[in-house]
Amino acid sequence: MNDVPDLGPVPRRITVSAEQAGRLVAEQFPHWAALPVTAVENGGWDNRTFRLGDDMLLRLPSAQEYALAVEKEHRWLPELAPALPLPIPVPLAKGSPGATYPFAWSVYGWIDGTPATFESVADPIRFAEDLADFVAALRSVDASHGPQPGKHNWFRGATLRTYEARALGALEELRGHIDVAPAHELWTRALRARWDGTDVWFHGDLARGNLLLRDGRLCAVIDFGTCGVGDPACDLAIAWTLLSVDGRDVFRKRLGVDDATWARGRGWALWKTLVSCADSLGEDGADARDARRVLSGILTDRG
Distance of CA 233 to the CA centre of its chain: 13
User: Which one-letter amino acid corresponds to residue 45?
Assistant: W
Q: Which of 110, 126, 161 is the last residue of a domain?
A: 110
Is the same domain home to 91 and 131? Answer: no
DSSP letter for 213, please.
E
pLDDT tens-digit profile of 151-205? 999 999 999 999 999 999 999 999 999 999 999 999 999 999 999 999 999 999 9
Residue 222 lies in a domain: yes
Same domain, yes or no: 157 and 294: yes
Both 250 and 204 in one domain: the answer is: yes
Rounded Cα distance, 195 and 1, in Å = 11
Which residues partner with 211 through β-bridges?
A: 221
Exposed / middle / buried, residue 198 (Cβ in 10 Å: 0-12, 13-18, 19+): exposed
φ/ψ of residue 247, rounded to 5: -65, -35
Confirm whether pTM is higher than 0.75.
yes
- The CATH number of the domain holding residue 153 is 3.90.1200.10
pLDDT digits (tens, 9 = 90+) for 48-75: 999 999 999 999 999 999 999 999 999 9
Q: Quick one: 102 and 134 in the same domain?
A: no
The answer to whether 58 touches 21, Cβ cutoff 8 Å, is: yes
For the chain, the domain total comes to 2
Task: Name the residue among 273, 267, 268, 302 with its Cα closest to residue 289.
Answer: 273
Tell me, yes or no, whether 93 lies in a domain: yes
| Boundary of a domain, candidates 110, 125, 146 | 110
Query: Among 87, 110, 133, which residue terminates a domain?
Result: 110
Domain hosting 64: range is 18-110
Q: Are 46 and 62 in contact (CB under 8 A)?
A: yes
Q: Are residues 160 and 85 in the same domain?
A: no
Residues 235, 265: contact at Cβ < 8 Å? yes
Q: Per residue in 75-123, pLDDT tens?
A: 999 999 999 999 999 999 999 999 789 999 999 999 999 999 999 999 9
Q: For residues 159 and 289, state if they share a domain.
A: yes
State the CATH number of the domain containing residue 40. 3.30.200.20
Does some domain include residue 204? yes
